[in-house]
Amino acid sequence: MVDVDTERTLELLWGTGQRPRRGPKPALSVAKLAEVAIGIADAEGLDAVSMQRVAGALGYTTMSLYRYVPAKEQLIEVMADRAAGAPPEPGTGDWRSEVERWVREMWAIYAAHPWLLHVKLSGPPMGPGQLAWFDAGLRALSGSGLPGDEMVMAFLFLNGAVRELARVIGDIARARQRAGVTDAQAEAGYAKVLRDHADAERFPTLARVVAEGVFDPAPAEGMIPDLEFGLRRLMDGLQAYARSRG
Amino acid sequence: MVDVDTERTLELLWGTGQRPRRGPKPALSVAKLAEVAIGIADAEGLDAVSMQRVAGALGYTTMSLYRYVPAKEQLIEVMADRAAGAPPEPGTGDWRSEVERWVREMWAIYAAHPWLLHVKLSGPPMGPGQLAWFDAGLRALSGSGLPGDEMVMAFLFLNGAVRELARVIGDIARARQRAGVTDAQAEAGYAKVLRDHADAERFPTLARVVAEGVFDPAPAEGMIPDLEFGLRRLMDGLQAYARSRG
DNA sequence: ACTAATTGGTGTAAGTGATACACAGTTACG
DNA sequence: CGTAACTGTGTATCACTTACACCAATTAGT
């Protein structure tokens, strides 16, 4: 059973729901609202997306938007689904490189639309965009030979790591930009904070790692190293597990 | 170098910063504000935490809070650090069970304070609470024999997966509660949505998995299965990698 | 002890945002 | 043609953060 609210949201996401028979032709559309709103969010973040802002950009009054969308929340759900775009087409590589490709492309989406990671979800993925990425991730993982349920579990775990790393790294980088601090300055500052506060009795392992210079400024290249390392180890583990299972 | 804003935030987090020499005795304290605000957030979510709400609960006017905290954002940073609480003491098990313990306890914290996962971070972890959990996670991982930098990378990856899974699962569960829907009803509803929209041409792998019944309602027990499976595979991979390195 | 400098708490007000509601104009169907 | 259904507008309400000016309390320095 699907409740009324979900029904309405599904209509907005999939563009189903019949056209009204009478009355003036609508000048706008949910797609148009979402498009403009995505532009604002890309440029200035999700907080800059207000109903007045979107309406103003379209040349209409704030309240006119409520003829297309029951509330701001639904507009944002539609934005999120559309901004996700199309996942990569199936490639020809082995499953590990397919998974890496999925991660890279997902990462690129989050770089283009950082606000995607700040949308509060009210349910599991249901829109065409979300489902397409879900499918593509499962497709890449399916080469590993895992059964369906474990494939889904592996997907959720990996997806979680990608999303949270993208969020953290993106948020911090943007906060630095706003503060007008270079990456090197910020990293040097953080290294100093850690040296000042991470004393060896209270935080022994952290202190050891700090002393090793792990947090000293270093140029990052390629995919984010933290993500790449974890991803490779996870795939190692998945591979060994699948093999041991026949 | 650490900028002024960060300096101020560090003072609030660590409780450094000298007492004012003149003027009336403060009736409140940052700790008191944070305590009350955490209570509100636990009960009603982060959005329910407004300066008026906190001030009202304390029996003071809204503006009085600004004598203790430069802005709401800083209050929330202090809340987040204090709500994290103390990480588990070092245990006696092997490193894998220590890591699992860290994950379980972290998970429990997020269950007790779901709003922690909605705090927008403006920088890397700097408060005593955050650093303690960081240290504890590294300590657990240190038994694997990985070098410091790879330990940190593994930590960030794992931490990301835990946080995002906790966020997604918690958010969805809470949305269901608000809507007055049981888990079984909601899962059945989602299974229906997937069967309706995940057609086999457009989303082949997803459709296959749906057909297998992976999304049909099933009782969950113990730690969240998705998290446990991914965690085990990741640790498998880390272990094999560490062994192959010496 | 006296005075001036500080600091704490209050009251008021400005600015922003979501959205309920009633209304005026528009279109299709009977 | 009349009526029901629909679109966009104007107005108003409510909640939120925070700037600013003020008075009372407290203490450093004399």
The whole model's pTM is what? Answer: 0.95
By Cβ distance, the residue of B6, B163, B205 closest to A142 is B205
pLDDT at A2 over 60: no
Task: Give the pLDDT confidence of B133-167 residue by residue, as tens digits.
Answer: 999 999 999 999 999 999 999 999 999 999 999 99
By Cβ distance, the residue of B122, B152, B161 closest to A161 is B161
Least confident piece of the model among A37-41, A141-145, B20-24: B20-24
Whether the CB-CB separation of B190 and A123 falls below 8 Å is answered with yes
Which residues in chain A are contacts of B234 at CB distance < 8 A? Answer: 157, 230, 233-234, 237
Distance CA B204, CA A127 (A): 16
Nearest CA to A209 out of A218, A197, A224, A198 is that of: A198
Inter-chain touch A205–B142, beta carbons under 8 Å: yes
Inter-chain touch B188–A1, beta carbons under 8 Å: yes
Whether A10 contacts chain B with CB within 8 A? yes
pLDDT of residue B2: 55
pLDDT at A64 over 80: yes
Give distance CA B37 / C1' D22 (Å): 28
Task: Give the residue from chain A lying closest to B166, CA to CA.
Answer: A160
In one-letter notation, the amino acid at residue B35 is: E
Which residues in chain B are contacts of A115 at CB distance < 8 A? Answer: none
Whether the CB-CB separation of A136 and A86 falls below 8 Å is answered with no
Residue B3 pLDDT level (bands cut at 50, 70, 90)? low
- In a mutational test of the B interface, the residue from A102, A205, A216 whose CB has the highest number of chain B CBs within 10 Å is A205
Task: Give the pLDDT confidence of A78-96 residue by residue, as tens digits.
Answer: 999 999 999 999 999 999 9
Q: Work out the average pLDDT over A10-23.
A: 89
pLDDT of residue B4: 59
Distance CA A15, CA A82 (A): 12
Q: Work out the average pLDDT over B90-97.
A: 95
Whether B109 contacts chain A with CB within 8 A? no
Whether the CB-CB separation of A126 and B178 falls below 8 Å is answered with no
How near does any CA of chain B get to the CA of A241, in Å?
A: 7
Render A213-226 in DSSP notation, one character per residue: TTTS-----SS-HH
Task: Give the pLDDT confidence of A183-214 residue by residue, as tens digits.
Answer: 999 999 999 999 999 999 999 999 999 999 99
- In a mutational test of the B interface, the residue from A159, A229, A241 whose CB has the highest number of chain B CBs within 10 Å is A229
The rounded radius of gyration (Å) of the Cα atoms in chain A is 22
φ/ψ (deg, to 5) at A161: -65, -45
What is the residue-averaged pLDDT of chain A?
Answer: 94
Nearest CA to A20 out of A75, A79, A68 is that of: A68
**Apex CA B140: angle with CA B91 and CA B240, to 5°?**
125
Residue B202 pLDDT level (bands cut at 50, 70, 90)? very high
Q: Work out the average pLDDT over B90-94.
A: 94
Residue A218 pLDDT level (bands cut at 50, 70, 90)? confident
Nearest CA to A89 out of A101, A78, A79, A107 is that of: A101
Render A55-113 in DSSP notation, one character per residue: HHHHTS-GGGGGGT-SSHHHHHHHHHHHHT-PPPPP-SS-HHHHHHHHHHHHHHHHHH-
Q: Which residue has the tokens 């446990």?
A: B228
Distance CA A68, CA B110 (A): 36
pLDDT of residue B18: 77
Residue ranges of the alpha helices (H) in chain B? 4-14, 30-44, 51-58, 72-83, 95-112, 128-142, 148-179, 183-197, 204-211, 225-244
By Cβ distance, the residue of B139, B148, B179 closest to A212 is B148
pLDDT at B44 over 80: yes
What is the residue-averaged pLDDT of chain B?
Answer: 94
Task: Give the residue from chain A lying closest to B135, CA to CA.
Answer: A206
* CB interface of A with B, residues 169-208, below 8 Å: 171-172, 175, 179, 181, 185-186, 188-190, 192-194, 197-198, 202-208
**Token code pair at residue A37:** 């709103």
Distance CA A158, CA B101 (A): 20
Give distance CA B227 / C1' D24 (Å): 57
Count helices and strands in chain A by DSSP H and E runs: 10, 0
Whether the CB-CB separation of B32 and B58 falls below 8 Å is answered with yes
Q: Work out the average pLDDT over A163-178.
A: 94
Task: Give the closest nucleotide to A70 (alpha carbon vs C1').
Answer: C19
Q: Within 7 Å: CB of A19 and strand C?
A: no
Residue A3 pLDDT level (bands cut at 50, 70, 90)? low
How near does any CA of chain A get to the CA of B181, in Å?
A: 9
Whole-angstrom CA distances from B185 to A131, A146, B181, B182, B211 are: 21, 28, 6, 5, 19
Residue A110 CA from chain centroid, whole number = 5
Which residues in chain A are contacts of B231 at CB distance < 8 A? Answer: 157
pLDDT of residue B81: 98
φ/ψ (deg, to 5) at B222: 65, -155
Distance CA A70, CA A75 (A): 8
Give distance CA B68 / C1' C4 (Å): 25
Whether A148 contacts chain B with CB within 8 A? yes
Whether A245 contacts chain B with CB within 8 A? no
Number of inter-chain CB pairs under 8 A, A vs B: 235
Q: Within 7 Å: CB of A72 and strand C?
A: yes
Nearest CA to B41 out of B88, B98, B82 is that of: B82
pLDDT of residue B222: 64
- In a mutational test of the A interface, the residue from B139, B156, B190, B228 whose CB has the highest number of chain A CBs within 10 Å is B156
Inter-chain touch B153–A206, beta carbons under 8 Å: no
pLDDT of residue A222: 63
Whole-angstrom CA distances from A211 to A142, A192, A205, B155, B192 are: 42, 11, 10, 17, 54
Nearest CA to B27 out of B74, B60, B69, B75 is that of: B60
Whether the CB-CB separation of A48 and A72 falls below 8 Å is answered with no
